[in-house]
Structure 1
Amino acid sequence: MSASFHVPPSRGAVSVARRHVVALVRDWRLPLAEDTVETLELLASEVITNAVLHTSGCCHVTVAWDGNHVRLEAEDTGAGHPARRVPGPGHASGEGGRGLHLVDALACTWGSRPSTVGKVVWFEVGDRSSADNTRPDIDTRERAESGPVRPARSHRPRSAGGTARSGPPLRIR
């Protein structure tokens, strides 16, 4: 099950996109705990905000369910891997720079890959309470500066850019 939509390049569009992601998941009646849906909402907001604020064009969002995890992909026109920044005083509000740290801490797995228009930043969430929904092959310890999750086992595929990924990329229409 999957759905895709475009997000206009404006800060106000992020809240609409975030609510749309949650509405999709609720409409699909997925077996997810409420806290998992809330985590999805928070991380969607962070990733989509980064795509909208740090690039010049629209963001294309794809949400998919694989039976165990919800995967969100945000494709934008920016080049290179997303960079985690040191949060805090460098920003007038003191709130900037926390997005990828939150994704890193709360997602089951996440990463980025180049796309034909820029890059795709993706993450997966699922109920950690279910043994079937955990990813034991993902090493959640310290990640490289570019942000991808490091696989704990060598059989895990890697994209051309060296970013760890789980499964094939979603088809972006």
Structure 2
Amino acid sequence: MVGVGDSALASTPGFAEWSFPAEAGAVRTARTLVRDTLRDWGLDAVTDVTVLLVSELVTNSLRYATGPIGVRMYSRAGRLLQVEVSDPLPDPPRERAAAHDDEGGRGLQLVALASRRWGTRPGVNGKTVWFELSLPPRRAGEET
């Protein structure tokens, strides 16, 4: 995936990874894949917020970077969902203070407010923006 190295997690249950060309359809495709995967994992409780945040980050990648966009998500110990969006632009995103009538500039504020925590890290060929969401406790007998 762009911006991160090869993953030892690739064959782990609760792990998914995709790469998209930097084209307008990438946002819709990412939303669909994230939604379907979280449904398969039984994580309906965090689906809407995850899809919204992935959509914001993939849109930012499309707006500012050229080249492939990577999306990776995995469950950490069944308590957290880690989501990463990578692109080939090395510059980290900057949170802006959008004015009331601005049409943009709220994506990273949304990520900061809706996630447990978030951040960026440089990669070999770009950067990764990540966020974590707390997962609801599993009931006895449910898979992780």
Q: Normalising to structure 1: TM-score of the pair?
A: 0.65
Does residue 60 (structure 1) correspond to residue 45 (structure 2)? The answer is no
- Aligned CA RMSD, in angstroms, stands at 1.8
Cα distance in 2 between the residues matched to 1:97 and 1:74: 18
Partner of 1:69: 80
Compare relative contact order (CA 8 Å, sep 6+) and give the higher one, 1 or 2.
2
Does residue 119 (structure 1) correspond to residue 122 (structure 2)? The answer is no
Runs of 4+ in 1 over 4 A off after TM superposition: none
Partner of 1:163: none
The secondary structure found in structure 2 opposite 1:48 is: helix
Q: Normalising to structure 2: TM-score of the pair?
A: 0.78
What stretches of structure 2 of length at least 5 have no aligned partner? Answer: 1-13, 138-144
Which has the larger share of strand?
2
Alignment of 1:75-94 (within 5 A): 75-88=86-99, 94=102
The secondary structure found in structure 2 opposite 1:43 is: helix
Give a deviation string over 1:109-145, Cα, whole Å, max 9, x none.
1100000111000001124x66xxxxxxxxxxxxxxx
Partner of 1:142: none
Partner of 1:14: 27
Q: Identity over the aligned pairs, expressed in percent?
A: 36
